[in-house]
Amino acid sequence: MVVEDVICVVFMLAGFFFFTTATLGLLRLPDFFTRLHATGKGDTLAVFLSLIGLAVYHGFSLTSAKIVFIAVFMFLAQPTATHAISRAAFRCGVQPWTMPKGGKK
């Protein structure tokens, strides 16, 4: 394997790791806002790392430049969309989860 291939695999595996942890957060966390937080943060980083891995795979070319532009756009758009969704949910009356008295679920 060439050094570029190793770097590509590392970025792609890191992206897969964050996709997996975001999915686990979606399944395990108690309410809408914590689930949205986990998927918003995890997916943003996972998409960014995966696209950077693809850009490294394609080398220095027009395709990799397009991939980098897409990665930057996703890095800016996903947190904005997550914020807009959470704000709309809060305004519609979705209440955040709070710890019940006694300290256990």
Closest CA to 26 of 16, 17, 37, 15: 37
pLDDT at residue 105 tops 80: no
Longest dimension (CA), the chain: 59
CA distance 102 to 16: 37
- Per-residue pLDDT at 104: 67
The residue type of 81 is: A
CA distance 35 to 83: 13
Print burial letters for 27-56: b (CB count within 10 Å at least 16), e (below 16): eebeebbebbebbbbbbbbbbbbbbbbbbb
pTM value is 0.82
Mean pLDDT of the region 46-71: 93
Cβ atoms 15, 47 nearer than 8 A? yes
